[in-house]
Amino acid sequence: MEYVVSFKSGHAPIRVDPSAALQDVLTAANSPVLFGCRTGICGTCASRVESPSGSLPAASDDERETLKLFCPSEPAARLLCQLKPCADIRVEPLHP
């Protein structure tokens, strides 16, 4: 099974295997999402994430703390370096 990551910017959708590291797949596909530290502390990959199925794993305590710092007013924000794909998602990077 694969999931599809689509982008509000119109970038071509990317297929992701659930066992793959999302940040590695998006980087290799030259997606519009940038990754900095890759550990969930810099906020570079913060993106608005929507899942048509409504199925996303809960953010960890550490991810929620980082999001509170970098995106306090964006309830749909997630750090893509920490997100494990479990459904099709649509993303919009919050930091150009």
pLDDT value of residue 53:
87
CA distance 70 to 62: 13
Structure tokens at 21: 């590291």
pLDDT value of residue 42:
94
Residues of the chain with pLDDT under 70: 96
pLDDT tens profile 25-41? 999 999 999 999 999 99
pLDDT value of residue 96:
62
Provide the whole-model pTM.
0.91
pLDDT value of residue 74:
95
CA distance 49 to 94: 10
